[in-house]
Structure 1
Amino acid sequence: MDAPKRRAPRQTKTEDGTAQRVVRRRPRDRRAQIAAASAEAFGLSGYHGVSMEDIASRLDISSTALYRHYPSKYALFREETLRLSTLGVETVRIPDELAGAPAERRLDYVIDTMIAQCLANRRSAALLRWQSRYLEPEDNRVLSGQLVRIHTVVRDLLVEFRPELAGSERAVLAAATLSVVGSVSDHHVSVPARALTTLLGSAAHAVIGADLPGLDAEAETPGATEIPLTFKHELLLKRAIELFHEHGYPQVSVEDIAHAAGLPASSAVYRFYRSKGDILAAAFRRAAERVSAAIGPAIAASDGPEQALTTLIELYVRGSFAERALTFVYYAEISNVPPEDRTVLRNIQRLNVEEWAKLVGGIRPELSAAEARVLVHAALALVVDLGRWHGADNPICTPARVIRLMQVILIGRPAAV
């Protein structure tokens, strides 16, 4: 537990120059302010990257005052994470006046309310998306149950709205719809609220109306290339990514990485990487370069923006399926990358998104540049979200289905053959 620190009373001076203590009254909504500030901090810097003093500083109070409301950082983290998930459950609850309405109208209501809540909690929702893995087991079970309830509501509405769908198709489309709506917390692209609401709603409805390829239409997906044991730096990176994916970066030590790579001691790791942070930065560079390296050749070999974008989508999905752990780590652990590397990586990511967005704009000129970027973020996040929800080896979430969903989000329909 972080040790409480006292903050000196704030003072002003009277007209004759003597010090006068200023008594600050405690706001009535202090607890709500603390919850909002902590959620934003956890979403931005990660659970392990935030202290009680950091949160207190955001509110301009002492950590002692913070401890009056919450006994520990975990108590704050737990309360805000479960508050957000509980809010999600409330959001998809159909009101009595719509109980007998057609399935399409109820589905519209659920999508609209989910979008409204995600926008209202945009700065803190990243906590729920990427940091909830640090909940203690019992709290994690509560969270998982709530997320399943949210998914079940959307899936059951699809049973009524599109009865022709197979159960696996409804499960994938429900998860994809939630991903599109939730992706708005992964970025800071600025679009007016009304336009952003319309854009996310259109993308969600495009996903709901998508026709997915059959499970027998899937071509074999290449697996990750086996790394020769002589390439120790590559093996170290591969094993580290697997550990970061399974346990979370803060929970993994250099000793763990050395053991997983078959090295005799942690000191052997430093022959290849300067630190654990350097390994994470190398993983991020690998993920970013995989995306950027495909852009130039795809554009050069295409007859127009739709063909180029279709090629990029397929390359991205195939690469992500071959390296699922890397794709997840890229989204979940950015707050743990050393600051000097984080700036460089953020710039590479922005450039990659910008190139994708230019292609989207070439296909859909009615979209602004910012709106195209929002859709690119939604499509890219879809890959990792579906992998998280359905699991790495779930046969219903195939690359061909993910490719089709990315197409309907970015192009607005399946790509022309």
Structure 2
Amino acid sequence: MLTRSVTPSAAATGQHRQGKPSEQRQVRVVIKTSSPPVERRSRPKDRRDRIATAAAIAFSERGYHGVSVEDIAAEVGITKSALYRHFPGKYALFLNSALILLDALEAALEQSSGAHPGNPHEQLRAHLSSIIGTTITHRRTAGIYRWKRRYLHKKDRQPIRARSWEVNRAIRECVIRIRPELSDGDAFVTVAAMLSVIGSITAHSLVLSPRRVEQLLLDACTAIAESDVAPTGRPATVPEAVPESAAVGNMREDLLRASVQLFHDRGYAEIGVEEIAAAVGLPASGVYRYYPSKADILAAAFYRAIDGLEAAVAEEVRTATDPVDAVRALTAVYVDLSFSQRELMSVYFAELINVAPGPRADLRLRQRSNIEQWAALLREVRPELSVVESRFLIYGALNLVSDLGVFLGPAAAQQEAPRIHNLMMITLLGSNVPEGQAWHASR
């Protein structure tokens, strides 16, 4: 309710301006208004979940150092102080993000356990279907696994690793029942490859219906579990890249090698130009004689890797005798490069986001072009696959190489190269891998 005082005019009181002014009267006018009720905004009950999801997506897409607490708060539409009511800081958000998929996978396996106790084949498919469906549901947030190993605190790594091994164990039990000739270690690698093929969908944005994605991945994983195609021959080696002839060229090579090793060991964001320079015996200013910036060193290393891969694949495909031989050749080249240049390949998958936008877009364009070329070769062997389906399988096969390289460690991965190549071929061709085609050391 509002009130105001009004002094009436002369006309309103019957008085005239001439003569003695009349005694003025104060008139109180009362105006009634209806004030809107004060809205009390309650905190959404799902705010913590919304924050967690936004953080997981951001970390999955941009990595740990590419995301700030402010970014996550803005995405949810809250202040930093409101976010801190639910999570104490950025690392807590990252750790929670790393656990989201793991929690979901454990819940999915618990639901599918005991579905077919007397039939290991059907029980395996039930487990795999649960895991695939869960990964599809969490596809945008599950890419965190690419970053988690490097940035998790040491005290948090072992519990997560132990829980991941339990997921592997639940599926491994089915695989051993199907293939009792496998040792526990062999079964572990087999299941790790299957999980990696499934997890590959978090590394790209190709679109298929969820039902078709599930069937495609389920068929590939089943073929991995049931195939007994043995690798033959021995791993071939890729020669070291020939350094540039001049002294300047040698120092450029030294800087590349030292940088890649440092980026691999501690992460790109943790390394400064001073440390790179010290690793090759230069002052910090000396690095700029060869590369304009740290990001340019990273880009140069990646161009070196993709140039070498494209050249090797082109030569192998040119000399292939048929489409199956071409698929075998390109996968063998990829396994060789992945393990002979392990640190570089690892850095590529983890740190591409840190390359400047122009070179990064170019590198991704070349990567997609390579995938398209490989998918076209695969479709010559398997014409029943669509273009997109063949690309899904290519990504799955490539992903298992990088993941198994991490799980096994450098020495074991090199020793297991024939088996890993065999797993790639089964992923791509199903259970119909021609005998003797799994590994062929022709170079």
Superposition TM-score, scaled by structure 2 size: 0.83
Determine the C-alpha separation between the residues in 2 that align with 1:224 and 1:158.
39
* Alignment check: 8 A CA contact 1:44 1:126 kept: yes
Determine the C-alpha separation between the residues in 2 that align with 1:79 and 1:39.
8
Query: Which moves more between the two structures, 56-65 or 28-37?
Result: 56-65
Instruction: Report the 3-state secondary structure (helix = DSSP H, G, I; strand = E; otherwise coil) of the residue aligned with 1:27.
Output: coil
Query: Which moves more between the two structures, 342-351 or 391-400?
Result: 391-400
2:234 maps to 1:218? yes
Seen in structure 2, the aligned counterparts of structure 1 residues 56 and 222 have a Cα distance that, compared at 3 Å, is same
* Alignment check: 8 A CA contact 2:190 2:224 kept: yes
Q: Could you say which residue in structure 1 is the equivalent of 2:254? A: 235
The percentage of counterpart residues that share the same residue type is 37
Q: Could you say which residue in structure 2 is the equivalent of 1:320? A: 338
Q: Which of 372, 381, 390 lines up with 1:372 in the alignment?
A: 390
Q: Which of 145, 165, 174 lines up with 2:191 in the alignment?
A: 174
Determine the C-alpha separation between the residues in 2 that align with 1:332 and 1:376.
19
2:274 maps to 1:255? yes
Instruction: Report the 3-state secondary structure (helix = DSSP H, G, I; strand = E; otherwise coil) of the residue aligned with 1:380.
Output: helix
Query: Which moves more between the two structures, 234-243 or 101-110?
Result: 101-110
* Alignment check: 8 A CA contact 1:45 1:336 kept: no
Seen in structure 2, the aligned counterparts of structure 1 residues 397 and 159 have a Cα distance that, compared at 3 Å, is farther
Deviation at 1:278, TM superposition (A): 1.0
Q: Could you say which residue in structure 2 is the equivalent of 1:73? A: 90
Whichever residue aligns with residue 131 of structure 1, its letter is K
2:221 maps to 1:198? no
Q: Could you say which residue in structure 2 is the equivalent of 1:17? A: none
Aligned length: 396
2:135 maps to 1:135? no
Seen in structure 2, the aligned counterparts of structure 1 residues 367 and 24 have a Cα distance that, compared at 3 Å, is farther
Whichever residue aligns with residue 411 of structure 2, its letter is D
1:226-305 aligned at under 5 Å gives the runs 230=247, 231-260=250-279, 262-305=280-323
Instruction: Report the 3-state secondary structure (helix = DSSP H, G, I; strand = E; otherwise coil) of the residue aligned with 2:288.
Output: helix
Whichever residue aligns with residue 252 of structure 2, its letter is H
The C-alpha deviation readout for 1:238-277, integer Å capped at 9, x for no partner, is: 11111111211112222222222x2232222111111111
Q: Which of 51, 62, 70 lines up with 1:53 in the alignment?
A: 70
2:357 maps to 1:339? yes
Larger CA Rg, structure 1 vs 2? 2
Query: Which moves more between the two structures, 89-98 or 277-286?
Result: 89-98
Deviation at 1:218, TM superposition (A): 2.6
Q: Could you say which residue in structure 2 is the equivalent of 1:9? A: none
2:177 maps to 1:160? yes
Q: Could you say which residue in structure 2 is the equivalent of 1:10? A: none
Determine the C-alpha separation between the residues in 2 that align with 1:397 and 1:197.
32
Determine the C-alpha separation between the residues in 2 that align with 1:362 and 1:141.
44
Deviation at 1:409, TM superposition (A): 1.1
Q: Which of 339, 358, 373 lines up with 1:355 in the alignment?
A: 373
Deviation at 1:91, TM superposition (A): 2.9
Seen in structure 2, the aligned counterparts of structure 1 residues 342 and 23 have a Cα distance that, compared at 3 Å, is farther
Q: Which of 400, 403, 416 lines up with 1:398 in the alignment?
A: 416
Q: Could you say which residue in structure 1 is the equivalent of 2:14? A: none
Seen in structure 2, the aligned counterparts of structure 1 residues 219 and 25 have a Cα distance that, compared at 3 Å, is same
Determine the C-alpha separation between the residues in 2 that align with 1:96 and 1:58.
37
Query: Which moves more between the two structures, 26-35 or 82-91?
Result: 82-91
Whichever residue aligns with residue 117 of structure 1, its letter is T
Deviation at 1:227, TM superposition (A): 6.4
Q: Could you say which residue in structure 1 is the equivalent of 2:16? A: none
* Alignment check: 8 A CA contact 1:237 1:279 kept: yes
Deviation at 1:30, TM superposition (A): 1.3
Superposition TM-score, scaled by structure 1 size: 0.88
Determine the C-alpha separation between the residues in 2 that align with 1:59 and 1:227.
50
Determine the C-alpha separation between the residues in 1 that align with 2:251 and 2:242.
13
* Alignment check: 8 A CA contact 1:122 1:185 kept: yes
* Alignment check: 8 A CA contact 1:172 1:397 kept: no
Whichever residue aligns with residue 261 of structure 2, its letter is E
The C-alpha deviation readout for 1:62-84, integer Å capped at 9, x for no partner, is: 32322222221111111221232
* Alignment check: 8 A CA contact 2:404 2:413 kept: no
Seen in structure 2, the aligned counterparts of structure 1 residues 29 and 94 have a Cα distance that, compared at 3 Å, is closer
List runs of 5+ in structure 1 lacking aligned partners: 1-20
Deviation at 1:395, TM superposition (A): 6.2
Determine the C-alpha separation between the residues in 2 that align with 1:284 and 1:22.
56
Deviation at 1:410, TM superposition (A): 1.3
Whichever residue aligns with residue 393 of structure 1, its letter is A
Seen in structure 2, the aligned counterparts of structure 1 residues 110 and 95 have a Cα distance that, compared at 3 Å, is closer
Determine the C-alpha separation between the residues in 1 that align with 2:277 and 2:227.
45
* Alignment check: 8 A CA contact 2:196 2:400 kept: yes
